Amino acid sequence: MKNFISFLIICAMVVVIYSCNNQMEKEQPQTAEIIGKPDLKLESDRMTPEALWAFGRVSGHEISPDGQTVLYGVTYYSIEQNKGNRELYAVNVNGENFRQLTRSAKSEFNEMWRPDGKKIGFLCSESGSVQLWEMNPDGSDRSQISNIDGGITGFKYAPDQSKILYTKEIPIENKFPKLYEGLPKATGKLYDDLMYRHWDHWVEAYSHIFYTDYDGDKAGTGKDILEGEPYHSPLQPFGGIEQVCWSPDGKTIAYTSKKLTGKAATLSTNSDIFLYDLESGQTVNMTEGMMGFDIAPVYSPDGKYIVWESMEREGYESDQNRLFIQNTVTGEKTYATQGFDQNVSGPVWSADSKYIYFTSDWHSRTQIYSYNIENGEIKTLTDGMYDYKSVAVAGEMLIADRNSISEPAELFNVDIASGEATQISFTNQELVEHLTMGNVEERWMKTHDGEDMLTLIIYPPHFDPNKKYPALLYCKGGPQGPLSQNFHYRWNYQIMAANDYIIVAPNRRGVSGFGQAWQEQISGDYHGKSTQDYLTAIDEMAKEPYVDKDRLGAVGASAGGWAVYYLAGIHEGRFKAFIAHDGIFNEEAQYLETEEMWFENWDKGGPFWDKDNKVAQDVYTHSPHKLVQNWDTPILVIHGGLDYRVVFTQGMTAFNAAILMDVPAEFLYFPDENHWVLQPQNGILWQRTFFAFLDKWLK
């Protein structure tokens, strides 16, 4: 629902997997079996749920100080143990000398090179809580460095290696202690303001930043630079250590925080970049007066500049993500990507501080770009039907993780001059070579109002144009953000195609990568142009001789689930099956059930009780639940009990309504999953239920 799929998907997908594995490894007993690459025996060349969970998930790429070695992690999942484990690997930047560095039952994460290159630091809970550990570059001599009470959540070395900063959860004090006196077994939680729960957890702690001396052997308890402040840094729930950095001289810590609480925090996206001076203990708000999201500061190697990602408008989480630069001497700020009608993500500096490299999505692909500090020129460095998810600098080349609809993420080195990419990790080569993937086609269509819309078509493996296939309309969530080349581990186009469905995925109004004006046409108008775009896409494909127009389905999650519920009331017999996951059914209830009110106020126009607000009233008039009397088509509803963005009662009421209307319906409920499905056995159950339902009604 929330658009971490735009500027956040590139970092937030890593953070989600990282957080999930972190939690799972905290619960993992000392005697747990080591989870590694599964020995999967495939009966055919078709993608299956088990094959999807067998892929190793590559994440992170930390470059050694000498620019010669890439450090990264791979997560493998055990279906039997119902959990994942992340191990660390290294490979030379030219793809040679691949080696596995760790082999344990405890996930290692937040890995990074010590500035002198003699050690690798990482986080692990081997001692019972998550602490900082170090090992030699070959994986030997593993030793615990910190012993911080309650554990830590992230860390970074100071450039001169004299200090370490780390992040840690600080419990929120009880505001009503007298009421709880003598009641040690009371479980009630008393609140007097908003933002008491967020995404999938009740907010009972703040994330704060600490720094401490480091002598190359041990790191002690540090100083809290947000001491006494009831704010998060990094931002919750998806922000990680990338939102905090050291200045090159080690005298300043730059960090991201939204210094608002309660009702103000739930109404605003206004986060800022703060500079904390270690010597004076003073903090300066570097982006004061900039009212949108300002996140992820990065100093240039020479210390002359600091770059960050910035959105302009307060309350709009999908505003254009811009590149801003500040001169650290003069304080002058530069809107570096002005006139560049695309989003910017993950900026990194060249070693000589003359260039900034970043990723940006355009026309269903995410590529690497460069920005020239001297003349402001922006160049596209890469090409092809891929998503380059993030980028790092390694001497004269770049290292990036890249995936596509047909291939999971692997690491590549990229020649800066030519853009040529060479694969250097081969985690899933054997599995990819065994599976036959369906062809992916880009097709431009004319919308109902004459605009050009790019639609992705994914065909079944061994496609026969002389046969007729059922087709699925994929309704994208977000609702903003890219619909691109991401290799998803649940909404995977190729596994849908492997079940002999043609997938139709339109870049309808609201999708990023087609200019900000195209993206903004969905706010306050989910039911209008974007819905017509969906119908255009499926109607156009239904004209093809190999598409059976009597066997069409529509599927989607979050805002895509909203679209499914809405289409169920207006489709006029087009579809024979619907599947909605974590979708919004009742807009009025959603307004008061969710927690990020900035989203509701921007995308829905405001509260339903504001009768003079024409945009809001139009939105609530077109709430899907008001069309349920028209439902006549089988529907599968899926929802997670820990989803606090779109509460599970939205799915429950949709299912109840279908049954009361005598519409064939099923309800798959996961009490221990949030807005996603992160556990292997639940993920496989999701896939099996998904295809059993579709096969029942479309085959």
Residue 675 appears among annotated catalytic residues: yes
Catalytic residue among 6, 360, 558, 623: 558
Q: What are phi and psi of 226, to 5 degrees?
A: -115, 30
- What three-state secondary structure class fits 546? coil
In the block, tokens 């000589």 appear at 352
| Whether the Cβ atoms of residue 27 and residue 115 lie closer than 8 Å to each other | no
Side-chain half-sphere CA neighbours of 136 within 13 A: 4
Q: How far is CA 431 from CA 428, 678, 694, in A?
A: 5, 21, 26
Rounded to 5°, angle at Cα 261 from 260 and 267: 75
Task: Give how far Cα 681 sits from Cα of 81, 198, 216, 580, 637, Å.
Answer: 9, 25, 42, 20, 19
Do residues 132 and 219 touch, judged by C-beta distance below 8 A?
yes
- Candidate list 571, 581, 639, 675, residue with the active-site label: 675
Q: Is the peptide bond before 234 cis (omega within 30 degrees of 0)?
A: yes
Contacts of 116 (CB under 8 A, 6+ apart): 65, 161
The question of whether 201 is a catalytic residue gets the answer: no
Active site residue 558: yes
Nearest to 321 by CA among 476, 455, 482, 454: 482
Number of H helices, E strands in the chain: 13, 38
- DSSP letter at 415? E
- All residues at 6 or more sequence positions from 568 whose CB lies less than 8 Å from its CB, including other chains: 575, 578, 624, 627, 630, 631, 633, 635
Q: Are strands 635-640 and 577-581 parallel, antiparallel or unpaired?
A: parallel
The catalytic site residues sit at 558, 643, 675
